[in-house]
Amino acid sequence: MSYLNKAKQANLERQLYAKQWWDNVDKSKIELENERRRRINAIKKSQGKRLDKLLKNPFEKRRCLYPFGIFVKDMYSKKVVSGNVKQSMRILSKIWKDLPVKEKEVYYDLAKS
């Protein structure tokens, strides 16, 4: 087994362990820890020190809450645009502006659900 395969296997095991931990953890304890970190961060901020990050579940599915974002994801998955992000966004925004209201409604409905 090569070094890369061993590293990949070890990372998968770590991710699985972390996912199980987040699935079984008591959410109230996470909130208590975040409250503690907020209090400490208030003190650290006044002292000009680096702030501690709040705990959040990295395995929670994130949603795109706005229709244009869903449209952009859809266009990238269909490979309508690729390459330079700045140019791609210009192209996509023009397509979005020219899109009929009926087709935009699909993305608005997806954003609501």
pLDDT at residue number 81? 85
- How far, rounded to the nearest angstrom, does the alpha carbon of residue 80 sit from its chain's CA centroid? 23
pLDDT at residue number 65? 77
Provide the mean pLDDT of the chain. 92
pTM given for the model: 0.56
Domain ranges of the chain: 3-47, 67-112
Q: Residue 64 above 80 pLDDT?
A: no
pLDDT at residue number 55? 95
